[in-house]
Amino acid sequence: MTDRGLYGRAGNAWSTRLGGDHFHPGGEAATAALLTAARGFGFGAVPFVLDVGCGAGGPARTLARRLGTDVVGVDVGGELLRRAHAAARADELWLRCGFVRATVMSLPFADASVPALWSVGALVHAEVAAALTEVARVAAPGALFALADWVCAEDMTDEDRENVAQLEYRLVPPVAYQAALERAGFAVLLAEPEPPPEPLATVPRDAHAWPTQFLLRFGPRALHAELTRSRAWASLVQRERVAHWRFIARRR
């Protein structure tokens, strides 16, 4: 994630209105559901968890509270990391949650040094196979990796691809995502679609007031960009061209 476009200051403000600081369809409830699934495989009994593409730190704080373990989040978005630090302090989790500016393509950890890994909606901003290879590099043998990410249909049309391009995603079908995990050195233990949140969030919750507030703060160009992205995304989700899947994998 970067400080421009979808996850720049304007994009962050818009996305927060959609899903809070979890950037996960379904918000904290979806994060908790992924954690519950991962704990069924033994996730969490480790000195620390690495959250790859941590964003504003919502999942990291949930992990720290529920597991009682330390969490290190990495993201390239400076604005997101500032929010993550502030939220951890506000929740009195600053001793449990640390955040580092780094890219998923060059994680600041030694080979085979990370005991557990987590990621939500982040790796599709990079080339998925390459990102998973880097994640596998730092994962210790036997480390569990819990992740949820966007995937696309096998038969995407040109219109679908144009909509995805507006969202700065590099989507692959779930079969290809699972294959990329296996090639990177993970054994996939679980691969399934997440249930869609109800109702589907495609516009800010305070839809009548928020666009005007957003316009005054960020200007007409930013408002047009976010409305265009929201409409493109709504089209993709409603036509079931994209879906959010969760995976649990173990480093071989």
pLDDT tens digits, one per residue of 91-118? 999 999 999 999 999 999 999 999 999 9
**pLDDT value for 28:** 86
Collect all residues with Cβ–Cβ distance below 8 Å to 164 and sequence separation of at least 6: 152, 156, 171, 232, 236, 242
Residue 101: both structure tokens together: 């500016």
More confident residue, 174 or 29: 174
Domain annotation for the chain: domains and CATH numbers: 5-251 (3.40.50.150)
Mean pLDDT for the stretch of residues 11-23: 74
Backbone angles phi, psi at 108, to 5 degrees: -85, 55
Q: What pLDDT digit, counting tens, does each position of 119-133 carry?
A: 998 998 899 999 999
Q: Is the pLDDT of residue 19 over 80?
A: no
Tell me how far apart the alpha carbons of residues 222 and 216 are, in angstroms, rounded to a whole number: 10
More confident call, 25 vs 121: 121
**Residue range 30-51: mean pLDDT, rounded:** 95
Bond from prior residue into 199 cis (ω within 30 degrees of 0): yes
Which of 57-66, 160-169, 195-204, 225-234 has the lowest average pLDDT?
195-204
Cβ proximity of 122 and 55 under 8 Å = yes
Residue range 42-62: mean pLDDT, rounded = 95
Q: Report pLDDT digits (tens) over 190-224.
A: 999 998 765 444 445 566 677 788 899 999 999 99
pLDDT at 245: 96
Give residue-wise pLDDT tens across range 132-160: 999 999 999 999 999 999 999 999 999 89
CA separation for the pair 141, 233 (Å, rounded): 37
- The rounded mean pLDDT for the chain is 89
- Residue-level pLDDT at 154: 95
24 — pLDDT class (breaks 50, 70, 90): confident
Residue 3 has pLDDT above 70, yes or no: no
